[in-house]
């Protein structure tokens, strides 16, 4: 098994951050061939997804999350989880919609993604600008 962590900065705004190049470098430098890659974010307020980036889908996802999980809370009555900046309770609900991990097949050392797919970190928590992402490759 190959494993490493990525330390990433998401900043002070909601972000969809493309991790694909960092993951490709990990697979290449580790000599990965065929197997499974797990991408996991060990944070209660972030998730990982496979998504098209650069054509607006990343911003569309953040817009949709804003509608589905508004800062004001369900029905505008606020969130029960209330520490942090206003609306921070929604960040703790995010992993229920955008899972904290994805598994991607790896064939001949490369992720078997579709033409427009990327692996991204989804972070709506403006209170925590630093994130850790764990990559684990298991040969098949």
DSSP 93-129: HHHHHS-SEEEEEEETTEE---TTEEEEEEE--TT--
Range of the domain at 53: 2-72+80-139
Torsion over CA: 84, 131, 45, 42 (sign): negative
Q: How many independent structural domains does the chain possess?
A: 1
Residues 88, 125: contact at Cβ < 8 Å?
Answer: yes
Q: What pLDDT digit, counting tens, does each position of 129-139 carry?
A: 999 999 999 99
Total-model pTM:
0.94
Could you tell me the CATH number of the domain that includes residue 125?
Answer: 2.60.120.460
The string of pLDDT tens digits covering residues 60-104 is: 999 999 999 988 888 778 888 878 887 788 899 999 999 999 999
């Amino acid at each position: 098994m190959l494993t490493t962590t990525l330390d990433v900065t998401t900043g002070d705004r909601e972000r969809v951050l493309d991790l694909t190049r960092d993951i490709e470098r990990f697979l290449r430098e580790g000599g990965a061939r065929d197997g499974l890659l797990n991408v996991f974010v060990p944070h209660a307020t972030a998730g990982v997804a496979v998504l098209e980036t650069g054509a607006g889908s990343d911003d569309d996802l953040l817009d949709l999350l804003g509608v589905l999980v508004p800062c004001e809370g369900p029905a505008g009555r606020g969130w029960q989880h209330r520490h942090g900046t206003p609306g921070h309770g929604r960040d703790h609900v995010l992993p229920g919609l955008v899972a904290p991990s994805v598994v991607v097949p790896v064939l001949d050392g490369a992720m078997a993604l579709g033409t427009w797919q990327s692996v991204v970190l989804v972070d709506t928590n403006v209170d925590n600008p630093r994130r850790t992402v764990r990559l684990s490759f298991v040969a098949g």
